[in-house]
Amino acid sequence: METVSENACFGGTQGVYTHASTACSCNMTFGLFLPAEAKDGPVPLLWYLSGLTCTHENAMTKAGAQTWAAEHGIALCFPDTSPRGDAVADDDGYDLGQGAGFYVNATEEPWASHYRMWDYVMDELPVLLERNFSLDMDRQSITGHSMGGHGALTMAMSPRGQFRSVSAFSPITNPTASDWGRKQLSAYLGNNEDIWSPHDATLCMRDRGFDGPMLIDTGTNDQFIDLLKPEALAEAAAARRQQIQFRMQPGYDHSYFFVSTFMEDHLAFHAEHLWA
């Protein structure tokens, strides 16, 4: 692991690091904010998964999350959204290939060699973080925006029980029934739709739900709301009687202005459960 940069930030440190990833077979970059409390011992960790076209940097610089993470003594990890590099397969569209990993393990060519973002976020990067930083890996939660909200929800609802709480900003909630999903899942995983279901938050909710609290925010003026399908997840959560706060925020769109507006709420929500 190599340090790209480290900057003082709200009494803590905002770092950017790069390392050779075994899961993705290329160099990967991530951001990590450590609050001041990390100097005295391990602190809880909140993952933030970003959306289509983003890198590790977008939320790190635009979401305002460090302000509230510092207040609650929580670390923040900002992984990249896909593998990158000249040898990594790509596509001319913004919604497939580099910047659009969809947090799955690809099985189809030309993606299978590098696009293993599920293993990267769930397995490889946690081990690297625990080895190199003062983090309490028994206290993890996860959030994300758009494609990252999709990843956060599906990872939280996996059977492993890795996360204490989950939240999402304008998540893609039903990708098997959306143009933001069917294209990518068929490209990465093939045409057998039975294999897609672990990567659809609505289907995961119907199947098993989440053993913990959930918070979902979506703007009523989100320009992509028909692709996100928030109503599908809301109906599945209601049918399951899932512990969830599901909020449609009047007038807000899909931008980081929306994300930063409600970031304080999400950090406080996770802090309550990470420090419990």
Among all residues, which ones are annotated catalytic? Answer: 146, 222, 254
Residue 196, CA distances (Å) to 14, 111, 172, 233 in order: 36, 16, 14, 16
- Nearest-angstrom CA–CA distance, 39 and 148: 29
- Nearest-angstrom CA–CA distance, 145 and 121: 15
